[in-house]
A and B are shown apart, each in its own frame.
Chain A
Amino acid sequence: MSSKRSPRRQFLKNGAALASFAAGAISSSSGKLFAADVPSADLHAYGQRSRFENDVRIGSLALWPIVPGARRDYGFRSPLQDSMGIITPASLHFIISHGHEPPDIDSRDHQLMIHGMVDRPLIFTLDEIKRLPSVSRLHFLECHGNSAAAGITGEPRKLTSATVQDTHGLTSCSVWTGVPLTLLLGQVGVQKGASWIVAEGSETGRHTKSIPLEKAMDDCLLAYGQNGEALRPEQGYPLRLLVPGWQGINNVKWLRRIYVVDQPYMAMMESTKYPSPRLDGKSRWFESEMGPKSVITRPSGGQQLGSRGFYEITGLAWSGGGAVRRVEVSVDGGRTWKDAQLQQPIVPKAHTRFGLSWTWNGEEAMLQSRCTDDQGHVQPTLAELSKYWGVDADYFRLPPTTADMGNFNSIQPWKVSRDGSVSNALL
């Protein structure tokens, strides 16, 4: 079909196709015409945001110089500074794929094999998985390196100019639709003695992650939907594993295989990249659960307050351990705290939006938030975190490739200057 067709003719054709859909007359010819004829930019076919909205993910793709055409992503962070409510649009959900591009999978061809220590190894098509009873659950997904002083957030984290997207953009929250993993594990019949699963993706490199069977049986989800539509390719289309509350690395995308075994399989990422070294030379590994965390998204780094007067301080709180029970906000650097209002819904292992009314008097202020989850765990200050890890605060000022610890959930202070500018004040 010619792409030079006039917009008017195209509109008429689209209209005709739409009308035939409305009448239920989806003949194969009109359906085909419709699908082939509607340009993806047509607002009526698949919505686009206003041209005046321009938030995007930030990250970097570098060419891999030696392998022609190969690209490496270094993580793409979500624009939390302008986030509304608790849902992250799929188009702005953070991405980390360890340098592997999304494979181009036709969902009709995709299969999931479950095997190993099971009575009945089985291969399921995606269509069969969709025939099973589905659930939809609201969950955050966070990279274990989010907001840390190393890795992707490490470089900007040390700058006063850092935005909340720079420091905390590796968390997102979606409504995930799919089938509880327990249901399929029930179908294959897990044998006695099994204690772990190994999940594997379909991308080049086939990322692999070991997950305790206890967690797999608890609340893991085989997700094919995100925020009411199919997963995006960069989020694992057509099937991903969701491991609520645990380090992002567990949530294997483009899921093709689950292997039921009796010990962790020590795949490359989990045994060599994700352990956190201690100063005595030993490393913590399989830390898994993301601790309670919160961050003020407005006002936050890089933003500018206008006149004195009323502002709502708002932000996000979440915990891999459960539901957010309380968020406190301080405007004086932690000397005094006030309870923020938590917006409904408050869902376990999901972003929770908080807000606190504030009148800026034009003086310098230090804004920060502190999350407590329903297990009673409290988000630490940087000093408390340092003590816990047996390091001093200077440790976090080291070059980003070195202070390589994940699960960094320190309280994040933003400094409001008298001129209304807001800056990162953690380090």
Chain B
Amino acid sequence: MRCSSLLSALAVLGLAECSVAFAQAPGYGNLGRAPSREEIQAWNQSIGPQGKELPPGSGTAKQAEEIFAAKCAACHGPNGEGSQAAPRLIGGRGALNTPTPSRTLANYWPFATTVWDYINRAMPPKQEGSLSASDVYALTAFILYRNEIIPEGQVLDAASLPKVKMPNRDGFIPDRLEDIHSLRARGCNAGHCP
């Protein structure tokens, strides 16, 4: 199949697809260069709820004790209780159905993959990227274990982490991820959703 100039124009507008058959991108020639697989891997830090981008490595709560003490406790407190400098990571579970809901990690965060993603991309401040993948698995396990979400001995890795169900996973509207994108279908109106 050849892509006519009309189709190319439509593709540029996102109205039609000119697919893989074309070595060159439609419309604007050779602008941009193709990244290597390694470049994509190096740039892509995003971990979705299915965890399909999670790298190899593994860790347990026990393995994180020293890392937590060395790299996290200064801001988050020796027991993850939080401080003026950084939020609470462990404990603080209270009610959500009040005007003063308890929005802690254990009580509120819907996905364990987010814990991994955020530690990996943002922690510790000024030393982002210094933790190995196994360190991040271990720290995630440490936080989840200390919050009584997983058992002490559980090994977290690319296969097990996405299966961890966070206590507040069902606490969001809409519940199904497929339903989030359409404000209209959700009954949102004038900046407010039900």
Q: Which chain B residue has the least Cβ–Cβ distance from A377?
A: B190
> B181, A212: Cβ atoms under 8 Å?
yes
Q: How far is the CB of A172 from chain B (nearest CB, A)?
A: 18
Residues of A in contact (CB 8 Å), total: 86
Across-interface contacts of B109 in A (CB, < 8 A): 271-272
Q: Is B117 an interface residue (CB 8 A)?
A: yes
Q: Is B153 an interface residue (CB 8 A)?
A: no
The A-contacting residues of B in range 139-170, CB under 8 angstroms, are none
In the complex, which of the residues A70, A198, A287, A320 contacts B193, with contact meaning CB atoms closer than 8 Å? A287
User: Given that A121-B35, A187-B25, A403-B99 are contacting pairs, would A283 and B48 also be in contact in the complex, using a CB cutoff of 8 Å?
Assistant: no
Q: Is A407 an interface residue (CB 8 A)?
A: yes
Q: Is B56 an interface residue (CB 8 A)?
A: no
Chain A's interface: helix, strand, loop or mixed, by majority? loop
In the complex, which of the residues A187, A200, A205, A320 contacts B32, with contact meaning CB atoms closer than 8 Å? A187
Expressed in whole angstroms, the Cα–Cα distance for A132 and B183 within the complex equals 31
How many residues of B sit at the interface, in one of the four size bands?
35 or more
Expressed in whole angstroms, the Cα–Cα distance for A271 and B188 within the complex equals 18
Expressed in whole angstroms, the Cα–Cα distance for A377 and B121 within the complex equals 40
Of A34-42, A163-171, A226-234, A257-265, the one with at least 4 CB within 8 A of chain B: A257-265
Expressed in whole angstroms, the Cα–Cα distance for A119 and B85 within the complex equals 44
Across-interface contacts of B86 in A (CB, < 8 A): 66
Chain B's interface: helix, strand, loop or mixed, by majority? loop
Q: How far is the CB of B85 from chain A (nearest CB, A)?
A: 4
Of A45-53, A288-296, A305-313, A327-335, the one with at least 4 CB within 8 A of chain B: A288-296
User: Given that A187-B12, A190-B17 are contacting pairs, would A271 and B46 also be in contact in the complex, using a CB cutoff of 8 Å?
Assistant: no
Expressed in whole angstroms, the Cα–Cα distance for A222 and B69 within the complex equals 42
Q: Is B75 an interface residue (CB 8 A)?
A: yes
> A398, B35: Cβ atoms under 8 Å?
no
The B-contacting residues of A in range 161-207, CB under 8 angstroms, are 182-183, 185-192, 195-196, 198, 200, 204-206
Q: Is B44 an interface residue (CB 8 A)?
A: yes
Across-interface contacts of B108 in A (CB, < 8 A): 272, 283
